[in-house]
C-alpha cells in the first residue's frame, strides 16, 4: 500500500527562486495515494496549486490553521480567525503597519493567523497578542 504524500510548498516543491520545478507536476498527479499540499501561506495558495495540478483538494494552510479535504467538503479551522483580526486591528490602531502595503496581499486571504513583515516592530505585537 502506498502511503499518502504530504508535500510542503515553500522549500520542498519550490526552488530557491520560489518557482516550482515542473518535474514534480507529473509525480504528484501520478501518486497512487492521497496527496496533501501543505503551506504556511494563506488558504488559496494550496487550493490553487491543487487545481493547477488537477489533483483532489487536500490542503493544510496557514501552518495548520485551515484544513480542507475534498471528501469532507468542510474547512476545519484550528486557529482563531477573530483573534487574528483583532490583533491586526489593535496593531494598526497602535500606529504600526503590518508591512505589506495598503493592499496587503500577504494577509488578504488569511483566515486563522496574521503575518507581519520582519522589518516591523515585534515588541508591540507581542504585547497586543499576549
Which residues participate in catalysis according to the annotation?
A: 8
How far is Cα 46 from Cα 19, in angstroms, rounded to an integer? 14
Give the residue among 2, 13, 125, 118 at the shortest CA–CA distance from 59: 13
Q: Are 99 and 116 a contacting pair, CB within 8 Å?
A: yes
Element (H, E) at 5: strand 5-8
Sheet holding 58-61, edge to edge: 5-8, 35-38, 58-61, 66-69, 74-77
Amino acid at each position: 500500500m502506498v502511503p499518502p504524500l504530504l508535500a510542503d510548498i515553500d522549500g520542498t516543491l519550490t526552488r530557491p527562486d520560489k518557482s516550482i520545478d515542473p518535474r514534480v507536476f507529473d509525480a504528484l498527479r501520478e501518486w497512487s495515494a492521497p496527496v496533501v499540499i501543505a503551506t504556511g501561506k494563506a488558504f488559496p495558495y494550496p487550493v490553487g496549486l491543487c487545481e493547477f495540478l488537477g489533483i483532489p483538494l487536500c490542503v493544510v494552510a496557514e501552518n495548520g490553521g485551515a484544513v480542507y479535504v475534498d471528501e469532507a467538503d468542510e474547512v476545519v479551522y484550528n486557529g482563531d480567525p477573530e483573534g487574528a483580526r483583532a490583533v491586526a486591528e489593535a496593531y494598526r490602531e497602535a500606529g504600526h503597519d503590518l508591512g505589506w502595503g495598503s493592499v496587503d496581499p500577504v494577509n488578504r486571504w488569511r483566515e486563522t493567523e496574521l503575518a507581519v513583515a520582519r522589518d516591523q516592530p515585534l515588541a508591540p505585537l507581542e504585547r497586543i497578542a499576549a
